[in-house]
Amino acid sequence: MAMTVDDRLFVIGLAELYRQAMQDHEETTLLPLAEAACKALALAPATGPVEGYYGESVALARYFRLVRALQQAEMPTAVPEAARDALTRLHKVHSSPAMGRVEASDRVLPRTASPFGEALRTLADWSVDALSRQARKLVEVGDAGLLAVAASTGDPVALCVARETAALAADVELAEEDATEPDFVWAVSEPVAAVAGRFVAALARSAGIRLPEPVSASAHLFGQAAAAADLDGRCILVGEQSGNPYPFYHWYIARSGDRDTVRDFWSNQVWTTESLRHMPAADWPPAGARVAAPGGGNPLSPARTQDQGDDRGWLARLFGMVR
């Protein structure tokens, strides 16, 4: 049996390989550095929802909150000597092109931007299709982040997978007809592979994490990783519109028949993958809905109201890897 590794399957596989490698690196190497830096700077862990895969373990959740604290704190005039080495090593990772476009900041650790984040900032009316198309147009030659790889596909499923994976910067059914491993056919487009090549190289330079090269010889590695990915219910906050009674704009992946789809919704509270998956799939917000806190009531009308459509004065503030 032949299995085609196209742009979507490739990005899902790449994101899965990245999160597996990065989780181990964050728990064993980066967490102690974040602990040391926050202790030296007298910073408490940030509060708020733990997004993406960081909710999968106590250690990852701890790392998420510590890094959030470092991203929110202003850089002191004089950095304590006890924090210097840890901050240097953390900054090397968090300012890597593999994490996205680094923006000038007075914070201890930077957040990064991406074509997807730029699309959110430049479009007044957010929708899954419009944002996916716009993000693809905004990929630049120097982009090397995971979100840029996904944006270059123009595929909302790829974008949602990458954005949820990069929270701090439905399943693809690969049923086998028999016990033999399928043949993976490489069908990744050249622009997607080019951005992915830059992402893999930047990640290796900054964190020492080596992912497979995005070439045809690696098709089986990306295909197998994508096959193991649990996508259904992955949910991520992608932006906020001030002045909106339901300001938090989310994307999530749902299984519809034999296809993966991305749905968007607005809420007055932040939802995470964990909070969405705690609900029966039948109760997940419909596309375009306005809903209360997770488990806090039935979705309101999916239709966009006129006052929302006329609101053009908002400032999109992005979280995690998109800002």
User: pLDDT digit string (tens) for 69-117?
Assistant: 999 999 888 888 888 999 999 999 999 999 999 877 888 998 888 999 9
CA distances from 16 to 133, 275, 314 (A): 23, 21, 34
Q: In whole numbers, what is the pLDDT of the chain averaged over residues?
A: 86
What are the start-end ranges of the E strands in 50-124? Answer: 101-102, 112-113
pLDDT at 203: 95
User: pLDDT digit string (tens) for 163-219?
Assistant: 999 988 722 222 233 445 667 899 999 999 999 999 999 999 999 999 999 999 999
pLDDT band at 299 (very low <50, low <70, confident <90, very high): low
SS3 content of the chain, % helix, strand, coil (to 5): 45, 15, 40
User: pLDDT digit string (tens) for 216-230?
Assistant: 999 999 999 998 899
171 contacts 230 by C-beta, under 8 angstroms:
yes
pLDDT at 33: 96
pLDDT band at 255 (very low <50, low <70, confident <90, very high): confident
**CA-based Rg of the chain, rounded to a whole angstrom?**
19
C-alpha 177: how far from chain center: 33
Nearest to 206 by CA among 311, 92, 50: 92
Nearest to 53 by CA among 170, 167, 224: 167
Rounded to whole angstroms, the Cα distance separating 263 from 62 reads 29
Residue range 141-168: mean pLDDT, rounded: 95
pLDDT at 171: 23
Instruction: Fill in the DSSP letter of residue 152.
Output: T
pLDDT at 82: 85
pLDDT at 233: 95
pLDDT at 124: 84
pLDDT at 298: 55
37, with CB counted inside 10 A (0-12, 13-18, 19+), is buried
pLDDT at 12: 96
Q: Does pLDDT of 319 surpass 60?
A: no
Q: Does pLDDT of 65 surpass 80?
A: yes
Instruction: List the single range of 36-40, 219-223, 291-295 with lowest mean pLDDT.
Output: 291-295
Nearest to 165 by CA among 129, 124, 213, 114: 114
pLDDT at 296: 62
13: phi then psi, degrees, rounded to nearest 5: -65, -45
pLDDT at 300: 57
pLDDT at 281: 93
Residue range 35-57: mean pLDDT, rounded: 92
pLDDT band at 283 (very low <50, low <70, confident <90, very high): very high
pLDDT at 320: 35
106 contacts 139 by C-beta, under 8 angstroms:
no
Residue range 128-152: mean pLDDT, rounded: 96
pLDDT at 106: 86
301 contacts 290 by C-beta, under 8 angstroms:
yes
